[in-house]
Structure 1
Amino acid sequence: MRVVLVTYGSRGDVEPMTGLALRLQALGAEVRVCAPPDFAELLDGIGVPLTPLGWPIRALATGAVPGKTSLSDIAADLIAMAYEAVAGVAEGGAAVVATGSFPAVAGARAAAEKLGVPYVFTSFSPSYLPSPHQRPRPWPGQEVPAEVSDNRALWDLHAEHMKALFGEVINTHRSSIGLPPVDGIRDLVFTDHPFLAADPVLGPWQETPDLDVVQTGAWMRPDERPLPADLAAFLAAGAEPVYVGFGSMLMRGASAQEVSQAVIQAVRTQGRRVLIGSGWADLALIDERDDCFVVGDVNHQALFGRVAAVVHHGGAGTTATAARAGAPQVIVPQVADQPYWAGRVTELGIGTGHDGPTPTAESLSAALKIALAPETGARAAVVAETVRTDGAELAARHLLDMISRVGSAR
Structure 2
Amino acid sequence: MRVLLSTYGSRGDVEPLVGLAARLRESGAQVRVCAPPDEDFAQRLAHIDVPLVPVGPSTRALTVAAPPPSLPERAAAVIAGQLEAVTAAAEGCDVLVATGMLPAAAGALSVAEKLGIRSVSVTFQQLALPSPGRPPLAYPGRPFPPEVTDNRVLWGLDAESVNALFGAALNTNRASIGLPPVDDVRSYVIGDRPWLATDPVLDPWREPADLDVVQTGAWILPDRRPLPAGLEAFLADGAPPVYVGFGSMPTLASQDAAQVAVEAVRAQGRRAVVARGWADLAPIRDQDDCFVVGEVNQQALFGRVAAVVHHGGAGTTTTATRAGAPQVVVPQTADQPYWAGRVARLGIGVALDGPTPTTESLSAALRTALAPETRVWATAVATMIRTDGAALAAQLLLDAVGR
What is the TM-score normalised by the length of structure 1?
Answer: 0.95
Aligned AA for 1:387? I
Alignment of 1:2-401 (within 5 A): 2-38=2-38, 39-63=41-65, 69-206=69-206, 208-252=208-252, 255-401=253-399
Deviation at 1:344, TM superposition (A): 0.3
Question: Deviation string for 1:9-50 (max 9, x for gaps)?
Answer: 111111100000010111111101000111222212210011
Question: Deviation string for 1:294-330 (max 9, x for gaps)?
Answer: 1111101111010000001111111011000000011
CA contact (8 A) 1:105 1:189 kept: yes
Aligned AA for 2:219? W
CA contact (8 A) 1:251 1:358 kept: no
2:221 match: secondary structure: coil
CA contact (8 A) 1:244 1:310 kept: yes
Distance 1:138 1:70 in 2: 15
1:352 match: secondary structure: strand
1:8 match: secondary structure: coil
Distance 1:199 1:216 in 2: 8
Aligned AA for 1:114? K
Deviation at 1:287, TM superposition (A): 2.1
Equivalent residues, number: 401
Deviation at 1:374, TM superposition (A): 1.8
Question: Deviation string for 1:69-88 (max 9, x for gaps)?
Answer: 33222211110111111110
Deviation at 1:150, TM superposition (A): 2.0
CA contact (8 A) 2:132 2:209 kept: no
Distance 1:176 1:384 in 2: 49
Question: Deviation string for 1:373-402 (max 9, x for gaps)?
Answer: 222111101100000011000011011111
Identity %: 63
Q: Structure 1 322/166 Cα, relative in aligned 2: closer, same or farther at 3 Å? A: same
Distance 1:196 1:145 in 2: 29
1:37 match: secondary structure: coil
Deviation at 1:211, TM superposition (A): 0.7
CA contact (8 A) 1:285 1:293 kept: no
Deviation at 1:115, TM superposition (A): 0.4
2:367 match: secondary structure: helix
Distance 2:209 2:248 in 1: 36
Distance 2:204 2:150 in 1: 21
2:56 match: secondary structure: coil
Question: Deviation string for 1:338-395 (max 9, x for gaps)?
Answer: 1110010011000011111112211211211221122211110110000001100001
Question: Deviation string for 1:266-309 (max 9, x for gaps)?
Answer: 11111111111111111113224211111111101111010000
Aligned AA for 1:187? S
CA contact (8 A) 2:196 2:215 kept: yes
CA contact (8 A) 2:131 2:209 kept: no
2:7 match: secondary structure: strand
Q: Structure 1 383/174 Cα, relative in aligned 2: closer, same or farther at 3 Å? A: same
Give the stretch that moved more between structures: 258-267 or 150-159.
150-159
2:303 match: secondary structure: helix
Distance 2:377 2:158 in 1: 36
2:283 match: secondary structure: coil
1:3 match: secondary structure: strand
Distance 2:68 2:227 in 1: 39
Give the stretch that moved more between structures: 115-124 or 129-138.
129-138
2:141 match: secondary structure: coil
CA contact (8 A) 1:133 1:206 kept: no
Give the stretch that moved more between structures: 322-331 or 278-287.
278-287
Aligned AA for 2:191? T
CA contact (8 A) 1:244 1:263 kept: yes
